[in-house]
Structure 1
Amino acid sequence: MMLSCSALVVGLLLSQVRGFLNSSEDDGVPEDWVLLHVVQGHIGAGNYSYLRLNHDGRIILHMQSLKGDADLYVSDKTLRPSFDTYKLQSVTCGQDVVVVPGDFARPVGIGIYGHPSHKESEFEMRVFYDQMVPVDPFEKGLYTSEDGQRQGQSPHEAEEDFQEEESIFWTILIGLLKIILEILF
């Protein structure tokens, strides 16, 4: 009797794990999209958090409000888009999706706004690259040399790009640490 109960519990747990894994794999994302980043964060009511997108090509931003209501604003003209200055937006309650075209000038500014209807909003954004969109070989700046750098791009410029991405990482990390410290103290 005890053995059959244990087998039933193990079977139930395995089915739950299988269901969880299948749901995370089959979340409506096409197989030809490549996951580049996952960004999680908190944003206070009426405040903005800013990110910078440097990746070329067609990029899809999937943001899910886990708590509260976070909205998404995108621009290739400013690095601090808002509900006054943006090119693309998604302001739903729940899942927000913005498709950044490949012809947008890089870097692209991403603004995440905490809607005032909630004291704090928590979000998770997944950044995908759509590799099925054909790349125009005649588009400016896409030719690369043998060492993988764009033609016309000096090693110094490549180093600046790396430092810029690294500084974004530190900005996000420091912001998350501030949020954790605010919660703790």
Structure 2
Amino acid sequence: MTLGRAALLLSLLLSQARGFLSFGEDDGIPDEWVLLHVVQGHIGAGNYSYLRLNHDGKIILHMQSLKGDADLYVSDKTLHPNFDTYKLQSVTCGHDVVVVPGDFKRPVGIGIYGHPSYKESEFEIRVFYDQAVPQDPFESGSYSSEGGHAEKKSAQAGDDFQEEESIFWTILIGLLKIILEILF
């Protein structure tokens, strides 16, 4: 009886360990997800490695730390996200998952951080596209006759004009200060 329990316990522990250590195709990935990329790499302790995501739509990043502990930081504001500047993160030991919404501005910056507890971390990232989320080409603004986004173009032109105007005023005020210092 004791030998049977020990064998049962050993087989249970082995199946749990195999499930914990494996990162195969059959790990609960829905059929609607399409595998786009598999990236493997190494990262030193306290260092970052950066990737750029250009693909549109809802993207799921699955990262497995194969050795050590790599953490994942994601941002649509900077191409070099870190633990101070990020929008999304996953900092678990082992399996990290981040879902990048379809409305994030592209390109999206992905930062992989090697945790300082380990001299080197080895990781594998699987990038999935969720094709179950329908893409509406008209949701982000109206289209111009040239096929581009008229709303985005005009907003960008407005930002450029505002930046040029700001630089102009900065230079003008600087010149006025110099003239006033010379006169008085």
The TM-score bracket by the shorter chain reads 0.5 to 0.7
> What's 1:27 paired with?
27
Which stretches in structure 1 are left out of the alignment for 5+ residues?
1-18, 144-149, 154-185
Structure 1 stretches of at least 4 aligned residues deviating more than 6 Å after TM superposition:
none
Amino acid at match of 2:24: S
Q: Does 1:75 align with 2:75?
A: yes
User: Is the contact made by 1:141 and 1:151 (CA closer than 8 Å) also made in structure 2?
Assistant: no
Give matches, 1:83-94, under 5 Å. 83-94=83-94
Shift of 1:151: 2.9
> What's 2:64 paired with?
64
Q: 1:142 to 1:115 in 2, by over 3 A?
A: farther
Amino acid at match of 2:86: Y
Number of residue pairs the alignment of both structures matches? 127
Which stretches in structure 2 are left out of the alignment for 5+ residues?
1-17, 150-184
Amino acid at match of 1:27: D
Amino acid at match of 2:26: D
For 1:88-133, what per-residue CA distance to the aligned partner results, in whole angstroms no more than 9, with x for missing partners? 0000000000000000000000000000000000000000000001
85-94 vs 23-32, which moves further:
23-32
Give matches, 1:113-124, under 5 Å. 113-124=113-124
The root-mean-square deviation of aligned C-alpha atoms, in Å, is: 2.4
TM-score when normalising by structure 1: 0.64
> What's 1:109 paired with?
109
Give me the identity figure in percent.
85
Shift of 1:139: 2.7
For 1:10-51, what per-residue CA distance to the aligned partner results, in whole angstroms no more than 9, with x for missing partners? xxxxxxxxx9xxx83321100110000000000000000000
Compare CA radii of gyration and give the structure with the larger one.
2
User: 2:24 aligns to what SS in structure 1?
Assistant: helix
> What's 1:151 paired with?
147
Q: Separation in 2 of the partners of 1:151 and 1:35?
A: 29
Q: 1:118 to 1:105 in 2, by over 3 A?
A: same
Q: Separation in 2 of the partners of 1:35 and 1:136?
A: 22
Shift of 1:76: 0.2
Q: Separation in 2 of the partners of 1:56 and 1:142?
A: 18
> What's 2:137 paired with?
137
Shift of 1:52: 0.2
Shift of 1:141: 7.8
Shift of 1:152: 3.1
Q: Separation in 2 of the partners of 1:142 and 1:47?
A: 42
User: Is the contact made by 1:38 and 1:127 (CA closer than 8 Å) also made in structure 2?
Assistant: yes
For 1:38-71, what per-residue CA distance to the aligned partner results, in whole angstroms no more than 9, with x for missing partners? 0000000000000000000000000000000000
Shift of 1:142: 10
TM-score when normalising by structure 2: 0.64
